[in-house]
Amino acid sequence: MAGHRIYDKGYAGDTVRVHDNWFMGKTDPFLVRRVHDFAETAGREDLCIVEVGCGGGALTHRIAQTDERWSVLGIDINPDALGAGQATPNARFAVADGSMLPLRDGTVDVVVSAHTLEHVPETLVRGVFAEIGRCLVLGGECHTIVPFEPGPLRGVFNMGMARRSLQRAGLPWANPVRLLQHSRELHCSPHTAGLVREWAQGTGLELAEWKVVWLNWPARYYMLRKVCRPAAGRLD
């Protein structure tokens, strides 16, 4: 989709910093607590944690800094945004597509993904969940945050980022109708508990918890747990 190519080009530099500092300001600590809770419950110290759609890497670094015994990998499809600005010994980064993760089967304890899956077309989200299910250990968890944007609100909370992405791509942005259209192109995938359950079918994942949380603005939180082996082969 054209919107996603524009987003890749526009989501860099100061746009990444704005996203990490403001939009992720409360999301990051929330997800770090979820990872910490998993570690305590599992009684594990040497966790392998992956962030899918890490952008500038702020959350990846924050998770890694929580416990130096954890091995943390941040993955993003956009090399211009990836892992900017810090160096943390137990954090590393890779350019990769969420539907083709460069990881062996059953080697990851926890996956986190914050404000990423809403940018993945609905037809492709199940493939991302299938890859997450393939990589997680049995009992491993996937924690995701997406905007709470029911019905006509889809894209409304993203208009500031849409304006920045259009500006950086050198495209007109002042028309509010066009701006909302582009914002909805970026937030192209709705997320409800029913859809998440549907996308998780055959992936080995089960929706274990979901709720609406307030993190700078309303967001949906989903926790999926790997309960069985995924179906054979990739799910498209």
CA 91 to chain centre: 17
Q: At 165, is the secondary structure helix, strand, or coil?
A: helix
User: So what's the pLDDT on residue 108?
Assistant: 98
pLDDT-wise least confident of 14-18, 122-126, 157-161: 14-18
Mean pLDDT (the chain) is 81
Q: What is the pLDDT averaged over residues 120-142?
A: 94
- DSSP assignment of 101-149: -S--TT-EEEEEEES-GGGS-HHHHHHHHHHHHHHEEEEEEEEEEEE--
Q: Where are the alpha helices (DSSP H) in 136-191?
A: 159-168, 176-186
Closest to 222 in 3D by CA, of 118, 135, 151: 118
Q: Tokens 């359950």: give the residue.
A: 197
**Which DSSP state fits 156?**
G
Residue 216 pLDDT: 73
- How many helices (H) and strands (E) in the chain? 8, 7
Q: State the pLDDT confidence band at 86, using cuts at 50, 70 and 90.
A: low
For 120-127, what is the mean pLDDT? Answer: 88
Is the pLDDT assigned to residue 94 strictly greater than 50?
yes
**Residue 138 or 174, more confident:** 138
Average pLDDT over residues 98-119: 93
Q: What is the pLDDT of residue 7?
A: 40
Amino acid (one-letter) located at 119? H
Kindly indicate the confidence band of residue 106, based on its pLDDT and cuts at 50, 70 and 90.
very high
Tell me the two tokens of residue 19: 């996203």
9-13, 116-120, 154-158: least confidently modelled range? 9-13
* Beta-carbon count within 10 A of 175 CB: 11
Average pLDDT (106-135) is 92
Which residue(s) pair with 207 in the sheet? Answer: 224
Q: Which residues contact 120 (CB under 8 A, 6 or more apart)?
A: 98, 128, 188, 189
Structural domains of the chain ordered from first start: 15-151+190-226 (3.40.50.150)
For the whole model, what pTM was predicted?
A: 0.82
Quote the pLDDT of residue 236.
Answer: 43
Residue 193 tokens read as 């508990």
The length of the chain in residues reads 236
Residues 204-221 pLDDT 10s: 999 999 999 988 778 899
**How confident is the model at residue 203, as a pLDDT?**
96
- Give the Cα separation of 215 and 70 in Å (integer): 25
> Token digits for 14?
């100061």
Strands (E), the chain: 48-52, 71-76, 91-95, 108-114, 136-147, 205-215, 217-226
User: Which tens digits make up the pLDDT trace of 32-70?
Assistant: 999 999 999 998 889 999 999 988 888 999 999 999 999
Query: How do beta strands 71-76 and 48-52 pair?
Result: parallel
Q: What percentage of the chain exceeds 70 in pLDDT?
A: 69
Which is more confidently placed, 157 or 200? 200
Q: What is the pLDDT of residues 150-198, one digit of tens each?
A: 766 666 666 666 666 666 667 666 677 666 666 666 677 788 899 999 9
